[in-house]
Amino acid sequence: MGDFVNLPASSADAPRRVPGHLAIILDGNGRWATKRGKPRSFGHIAGARTLIRALGWFAERGIQHVTVYAFSTENWKRPAREVASLMRLFSTLLRHNLDILVKNKIRLRISGRRGDLPPKIQKAVAEAERITAGFDRQLIVCVSYGGRAEIIDAVNAAVARGEKVTEESFQNLLYVPDVPDPDLVIRTGGEKRTSNFLLWESAYAEYCFIDALWPDFSERDLDDALSDYASRNRRKGGIA
C-alpha cells in the first residue's frame, strides 16, 4: 500500500507497518510546567526540546512526513504574555535550529494562517522553508492553524475563482495540498479530542491518545503508539 513504508533494516523489530504521515497534537506543556511550580512558558521551552529530540526518532523509524500542532487559531485567546512567549520561542527555533533540520535533511513547512504571525516570524518562516525546500522528509508545523479556518480559507478560494469543488480540487486548496493524509494522529496530555486539528485530512486517520504530557513524551511512548498503529485494521469503508 502506497501510504506505508517499512522500517529500516537496522531496526531490532521485524519490518512492520509504520505511518507514512504521523501527526501529533503536542499537548500538556502548561501542565508540565505548573506541576513544577514554573511559568507555562517553561513548559513550552521543554516541549520544543522534546520535539527536537523526537525528530531523530521519527527519522530512524522511516516516517516520511510529520505534522505537529504547535499553536491553534484558538490559542490566540490565551493571556498576551503566554502568546508572546510562544512567538519568541518560534522565532528562536527558526533562527537557531535550522542546522538540525539541514543535518537531518528535513524540509520545514508551516501550515496555518501565516498572515496572523508577526511579520518578523513570517520572514523567518519563508527563509527556513527556502533553505530546506530540497529535502524529501517533511516536518509540517501547524501555527495559527485551525481545521475549520483551513476549510473556510479553501472554500473562499474556490468561491473567489467561481468554482464548484470536488474532493480532489478541494484538497488542492488546502495549506499543504501535496502532503498525503495523516495515517496516525497521536495526542499527548490525556485529553481525547481533536481540538480543531486536521479536520479534513484525518477523515481516515487512526488515533492514539497518550497520557504523558508532551515534554515527557519518550521514544518508548512513540514505539507503543507505532505498535498499536501496526495492529490496526484500516478498512477505510471496505471490508477486511
Residues known to be catalytic:
27, 75
Shortest CB 195 distance to ligand IPE, Å: 4
Cell numbers linked to 219: 521514544
Q: Applying CB under 5 A, which part among 10-18, 19-27, 40-48, 207-215 lies near Mg ion? A: 19-27
Cβ atoms of residues 36 and 211 within 8 Å: no
For residue 186, report the phi and psi dihedrals to the nearest 5 degrees: -105, 135
What are the residue ranges of helices labelled H in 1-146? Answer: 29-35, 40-60, 80-96, 98-103, 119-132
Residues lying near ligand IPE in the complex (CB under 6 A): 25-31, 69-72, 75, 86, 189, 191, 193, 195
Shortest CB 156 distance to ligand IPE, Å: 23
CA 110/CA 237 separation, integer angstroms: 31
CA 140/CA 110 separation, integer angstroms: 6
Q: Applying CB under 5 A, which part among 22-30, 101-109, 169-177, 215-223 lies near Mg ion? A: 22-30
Half-sphere exposure of residue 164, counting CA atoms within 13 Å on the CB side?
A: 0
Q: Applying CB under 5 A, which part among 20-28, 65-73, 173-181, 229-237 lies near Mg ion? A: 20-28
- Residue from 7, 27, 58, 146 in contact with Mg ion (CB under 5 A): 27
Binds 31, which of ligand IPE, Mg ion, none (CB < 5 to 8 A, cut-off by type)?
ligand IPE
Binds 112, which of Mg ion, ligand IPE, none (CB < 5 to 8 A, cut-off by type)?
none
Half-sphere exposure of residue 117, counting CA atoms within 13 Å on the CB side?
A: 25
Shortest CB 166 distance to ligand IPE, Å: 30
Site residues (vs Mg ion, CB under 5 A): 27
